[in-house]
Amino acid sequence: MTAHALPQVALESTVISHGLPYPHNLALARDMEAVVRSHGAQPRTVGIIAGELIAGLDDSQIAHLATAQNVRKVSRRDLPIVVAQKLDGATTVATTMWIAHQAGIEVFATGGIGGVHRGHGGAAGNDISADLEELAQTPVIVVCAGAKAILDLPATLEYLETRGVTVAGYATDEFPAFYSRSSGLPVDVRCDSPAEVAAIWRAKQTLGLPGGLLVTVPIAPQDEIPAQEIEPAIAQAVAEAEQRGLRSAEVTPFLLARIAELTGDRSLRANIALLKNNARVAAEIATALANG
Ligand code: PSU
Ligand code: MN
């Protein structure tokens, strides 16, 4: 019997500390773990406590990240700082991938990946999420609902192509736009089952290609917010972030919170629904890999 008797699924913690408000964040973190377990896999929520990188936070550690005020959002560049200074930290997609890989975990469920921000190269500066570079170099399957329409989705897909990241659509031909099922942008391949995802992953390993695989799952029809309904809130939030001169790591949390306010929490409900859905799909993919 190995240490990993069950298929393993990593979960991130920035969505807990910075992505959702309390108490929804704590409930969601526990619910995602429960969904993974109920689909026969072992959840491993990733985070940093007093400078220690942990792949498998316990419930009190998760509660701490959900409630403490001084938790740092940790991207790759921040890892040496939080370790040296023994700080608490929440991991983004980039750092969750890296820590999951060190721990031997191949599958990771999140909500949306970071990407190329709107206005890139213009007034908003050069904001490209470290998540994209991590996907290019760290071998983990990232299950998400696409990227939020707060981002420049065509530019995000172009960047992934440049860096050699395969983008699969899970039962869809289109790249999902987080709150909305469709973006009008094509994925590289459609997969209709966990086994199809597993086959692509194995082919990538056999070829010796570095980096991850992005599996994009559309939000369920009953949970989605149509693009034309969410777009005014996104446009307003993006404009306010620019007016405030927000930069770097503070941009994404501000946009998420502002859109939730502007939509009267409809975006919050959609976000929670898609996160749980992604946890289910990730558990099924991890199971297919373990059975292969
Ligand atoms: N997208 C969401 N919710 C989130 C995030 C992204 O819908 O909570 C978080 C993830 O942890 C992601 C990070 O890795 O934001 C990206 O931040 P940045 O754009 O600063 O790289
Ligand atoms: Mn950024």
What pLDDT score was predicted for residue 248? 85
How far apart are the CA of 192 and the centre of ligand 2, in A?
A: 32
Q: Domain map of the chain by residue range? A: 3-114+131-223+274-290
Q: Is the dihedral of CA 15, 16, 17, 23 positive or negative?
A: positive
What pLDDT score was predicted for residue 149? 81
Taking domain 3-114+131-223+274-290, whether its CATH number is 2.40.10.220 is answered by no
Partners of 7 in the β-ladder: none
What is the best residue among 12, 14, 45 to mutate for testing ligand 1's pocket, by most ligand atoms within 8 Å of CB? 14
What is the best residue among 73, 75, 77, 92 to mutate for testing ligand 1's pocket, by most ligand atoms within 8 Å of CB? 92
What pLDDT score was predicted for residue 28? 98
C-alpha to C-alpha distance for 212 and 137, rounded to whole angstroms:
7
Q: Ligand 1, closest atom to CA 248?
A: 20
Taking the CB of residue 181, how many other CB atoms lie within 10 A of it? 21
Which ligand ends up closest to the CA of 76? 1
What is the best residue among 14, 108, 252, 254 to mutate for testing ligand 1's pocket, by most ligand atoms within 8 Å of CB? 252
Q: Which residues contact 51 (CB under 8 A, 6 or more apart)?
A: 82, 83, 84, 85, 86, 87
Q: Which residues line ligand 1 (CB under 6 A)?
A: 12, 14-15, 19, 75, 92-93, 111-112, 114, 129-131, 148, 249, 252, 256
The amino acid occupying position 3 is: A
E strand map for the chain: 8-11, 42-49, 52-55, 72-74, 89-91, 107-109, 141-144, 166-170, 189-191, 213-216
Q: Can you give the pTM of this predicted structure? A: 0.96
Phi, psi of 142 (to 5 degrees): -105, 115
Chunk the chain into consecutive blocks of 10 residues (it has 292) and report each block's average pLDDT, rounded to whole numbers. Answer: 78 96 97 98 98 98 96 97 98 98 98 89 75 98 93 96 98 96 96 98 98 98 93 94 90 92 92 98 98 87
Q: Which 3 state secondary structure label does DSSP give 188?
A: coil
Q: Which residues does the annotation mark as catalytic?
A: 12, 148
C-alpha to C-alpha distance for 171 and 284, rounded to whole angstroms:
14
What pLDDT score was predicted for residue 1? 45
How far apart are the CA of 38 and the centre of ligand 2, in A?
A: 34
How far apart are the CA of 125 and the centre of ligand 2, in A?
A: 10
Q: Which 3 state secondary structure label does DSSP give 217?
A: coil
